[in-house]
Chain A
Amino acid sequence: MTRRGIAIVAGLVAICATWQPVHGQTAASLLEDGIRAYQELEFEAAAGFLRRALDPALGRQLSDPAASRVLTIRALTYLAAAEMLGGNTDSARATFERLVRFDTRYRPDQLIFPPQVTNEYDAVRRASKVITFDAPRHKTLRVGQDSFSFELFASSYHEAVVEIRDRDSVRVRSIYRGPIVDSLDLDWDGRDPERLVVASGPYDLWIQSRDSTGILVRALRVPLDITVETPDTLAHPFEPADSMILPEQHSSGPGVQALAGGLLVGTAVAVLPTLFSSDTDLMGGRLLVAGTVSVAGITTFFRRRPGKPIPENIQLNQALYRSYRDSLAVVVTENERRKTDVQLVITTGSQSVHEGPGR
């Protein structure tokens, strides 16, 4: 690369490196120039510098929103003061109105600005019906335990209407309707007037300023993106199947079978040997066996006679149903808790202003 090429590249690099700071400083330096001119009572020049400092193209180049906000407030205040003291009262009022809309809580420093300026600002502020809004950008609330809280700041006493609307502008819930003086803390529990939790979807928070006759002066629309999160409910336990239920009374089968079996075998043992060997003096022990078997069959029949309750089975069945009912109660209770454990995730969007016909 030649020396000339190197020089061109170096020059471009230097320009790129200094370009942003030059423009970032321009708004600030214009503000300082305007303030200096104001202090030197050169109100026309001051207004010129300050109008240029408020050029949105310059303000956007400030990376710090807080610094940009301070710059804007100072520039508007000095601009209004310069216009006021320069005899342009209408322009000053318009600038003050702009300042009030920008920050309703701002007050010009009475040590810096003369009463003529601060009184005019107060007059404009009293005449303005402006509300600004402050709320967290994201909020997760448990319905019934928590609420979506936000704060309104009013420029002056006036009537305010605050409501939630869906995207078709149909009112979902009225939050507030009444006077606002300076500030107002409001809450929304995430429900509609029928105490039902709203569905997921896009909504708007409308904050309306109305005049004494109820005519809309200004409306602030804050988009709300709402997501309803509900935990899944548990499945109910299965009722004990019939196959799990033990018989609670003896059926006729086992008792009769025991009686028949015992008597049949007992009789066979007692009688059949005499048929085999009729001329033999048989062992007496066979009668012991025959008697034992017969007695066992008869005893079993009476122990398990048809229709006799079976206490152990009754207890087991009762325990089975008790266990089922307990499990069901636990699930029902848990599901009731889960149904009420609804969470709303609310994300606020960029607000927009709609001017109304009222004053």
Chain B
Amino acid sequence: MTPRRMGPLAAMLLAASAAAGRLSAQSGVGLTVSLAPMPVQVTRTAEPAANRFSGLTIGGAAAVRFGRLRLDLRYLEGGLGSDQEVPDQDIVEGELLLGVAPLSWLVVKAGPHIRSFVTSQGTQRWVFWEGRVTAAANLGSPNLLTYLEVWHVLGANVDAVEPYDSGNGLEGGIRLAMNRLPFWGQLAYRIDHNSIGDGAKTDTVEQLVFAIGWFVRR
């Protein structure tokens, strides 16, 4: 990852941390900030060939809760390499989702999700508009919960000749909060699968999330 690429990530984390102090002073507000190294695997198929890229990305996420409303922000970037005769590329990804929690264990979210693959020859950008549903359950303690988030791409704009076809994704994992300390750890698996050109080309992006987070709740 180049220093230039670290700029947006650092700025986002600094902004989130600064916002934590202000938001924590407001009633009914919660803020979660996390930082995660994430092994990523991208499998790109274009019949009959298939290319696989893998690498390590680093990212951060922030979630702001205000009553039943919540705003999720996520960003990651990293380099991808392949053992095949294809050039390396970088991946930069961000999403901004606005959600509402009709039930304490259920959140419905929607928003843009942007992913860019950067090579020396240019940048291919994928813009998705996604609808998501997240369900969470305590594993015997409020400090330990498991969750599953599934989503469907409602609309997309892809820098490709073929028209966008469809996309789905899911993220599932476990989160453990520390007793009396505002920190938590997370282990999760995330996958999204998108196809273009009536399924002639597909992109499958998998991420393994090892996150450490900090939260403030008022």
Q: Give Cα distance in the complex from A279 to B50, angstroms.
A: 10
0/1 string, A227-270, CB within 8 A of B gives 1 = 00000000000000000000000000011011011101110110
Complex contacts, B41 vs chain A, CB 8 Å: 282-283
Q: Is the CB of B139 within 8 A of A276?
A: no
Q: Is the CB of A265 within 8 A of B146?
A: yes
The bracket for how many chain B residues form the interface is 20 to 34
0/1 string, B40-63, CB within 8 A of A gives 1 = 010101000010100000000000
Q: Is the CB of B140 within 8 A of A283?
A: no
Q: Give Cα distance in the complex from A226 to B33, angstroms.
A: 78
Residue of B nearest to A276 (CB): B193
The listed residue (B141, B168, B172) touching A276 by CB distance below 8 A is: B168
Q: Give Cα distance in the complex from A285 to B191, angstroms.
A: 11
The listed residue (B39, B141, B170, B173) touching A273 by CB distance below 8 A is: B170
Quick one: which of B145-172 are within 8 Å of A by CB? 146-148, 150, 168-170, 172
The answer to whether the Cβ of B117 comes within 8 Å of any Cβ in the partner chain is no
Answer whether A292 and B174 are a contact pair too, CB < 8 Å, given A261-B137, A281-B43, A297-B146.
yes
Distance (Å) between the CB of B3 and the closest chain A CB?
Answer: 29
Complex contacts, B204 vs chain A, CB 8 Å: 276-277, 280, 282
Q: Is the CB of B139 within 8 A of A297?
A: yes
Distance (Å) between the CB of A258 and the closest chain B CB?
Answer: 4
The answer to whether the Cβ of A117 comes within 8 Å of any Cβ in the partner chain is no
Residue of A nearest to B171 (CB): A269
Complex contacts, A297 vs chain B, CB 8 Å: 139, 146
Q: Is the CB of A268 within 8 A of B172?
A: yes
Complex contacts, B50 vs chain A, CB 8 Å: 280
The answer to whether the Cβ of A290 comes within 8 Å of any Cβ in the partner chain is yes
The answer to whether the Cβ of A177 comes within 8 Å of any Cβ in the partner chain is no
Quick one: which of A275-317 are within 8 Å of B by CB? 276-277, 279-283, 285-286, 288-290, 292-293, 296-297, 300-301, 303-304
The answer to whether the Cβ of B208 comes within 8 Å of any Cβ in the partner chain is yes
The listed residue (B144, B147, B202) touching A296 by CB distance below 8 A is: B144
The answer to whether the Cβ of A272 comes within 8 Å of any Cβ in the partner chain is yes
Q: Is the CB of B191 within 8 A of A277?
A: yes
Q: Give Cα distance in the complex from A277 to B206, angstroms.
A: 11
Quick one: which of B162-198 are within 8 Å of A by CB? 168-170, 172-174, 187-189, 191-193
Q: Is the CB of B208 within 8 A of A289?
A: yes
Q: Give Cα distance in the complex from A293 to B204, angstroms.
A: 23
Q: Is the CB of B170 within 8 A of A268?
A: yes
Complex contacts, B202 vs chain A, CB 8 Å: 277, 280
Distance (Å) between the CB of A254 and the closest chain B CB?
Answer: 5
Q: Is the CB of B172 within 8 A of A281?
A: no
The answer to whether the Cβ of B138 comes within 8 Å of any Cβ in the partner chain is yes
Distance (Å) between the CB of B141 and the closest chain A CB?
Answer: 8
Residue of B nearest to A295 (CB): B174
Answer whether A283 and B39 are a contact pair too, CB < 8 Å, given A257-B137, A289-B189, A292-B187.
yes
Residue of A nearest to B43 (CB): A280
Q: Is the CB of A289 within 8 A of B43?
A: no
Q: Is the CB of A269 within 8 A of B144?
A: no
Distance (Å) between the CB of B124 and the closest chain A CB?
Answer: 19
Complex contacts, B141 vs chain A, CB 8 Å: 300
Q: Which of B150, B170, B172, B173 has the most CB of A within 10 A?
A: B172
Q: Is the CB of A269 within 8 A of B172?
A: yes
Q: Is the CB of B206 within 8 A of A282?
A: yes
Complex contacts, A300 vs chain B, CB 8 Å: 139-141, 144
Complex contacts, A272 vs chain B, CB 8 Å: 150, 170
Complex contacts, B39 vs chain A, CB 8 Å: 283, 285
The listed residue (A257, A258, A264, A293) touching B173 by CB distance below 8 A is: A293
Q: Is the CB of B45 within 8 A of A279?
A: yes
Distance (Å) between the CB of B178 and the closest chain A CB?
Answer: 16
Q: Is the CB of B139 within 8 A of A286?
A: no
Q: Is the CB of B172 within 8 A of A260?
A: no
Quick one: which of B201-218 are within 8 Å of A by CB? 202, 204, 206, 208
Complex contacts, B192 vs chain A, CB 8 Å: 276
Complex contacts, A265 vs chain B, CB 8 Å: 137, 146-148, 172-174
Q: Which of B137, B140, B169, B204 has the most CB of A within 10 A?
A: B140
Residue of B nearest to A259 (CB): B139
Q: Can you spell out 28 A-B residue pairs with CB atoms less than 8 angstroms apart?
A: A258-B139, A261-B138, A261-B146, A262-B139, A265-B173, A265-B174, A268-B172, A269-B172, A273-B170, A273-B191, A273-B193, A276-B168, A277-B204, A280-B45, A280-B202, A280-B204, A283-B39, A283-B206, A285-B39, A285-B208, A286-B189, A286-B191, A286-B208, A289-B208, A290-B172, A296-B139, A296-B174, A297-B146
* 5 cross-chain pairs, A with B, having the tightest CB-CB distances, nearest first: A261-B137, A300-B140, A269-B172, A285-B208, A289-B189
Taking Cβ atoms with an 8 Å cutoff, the residues of B that contact A are 39, 41, 43, 45, 50, 52, 137-141, 144, 146-148, 150, 168-170, 172-174, 187-189, 191-193, 202, 204, 206, 208
Besides A265-B172, A293-B146, 8 new A-B residue pairs in contact (Cβ under 8 A), listed by A number: A254-B140, A261-B146, A268-B170, A277-B204, A280-B50, A283-B208, A296-B144, A300-B139
Taking Cβ atoms with an 8 Å cutoff, the residues of A that contact B are 254-255, 257-258, 260-262, 264-266, 268-269, 272-273, 276-277, 279-283, 285-286, 288-290, 292-293, 296-297, 300-301, 303-304
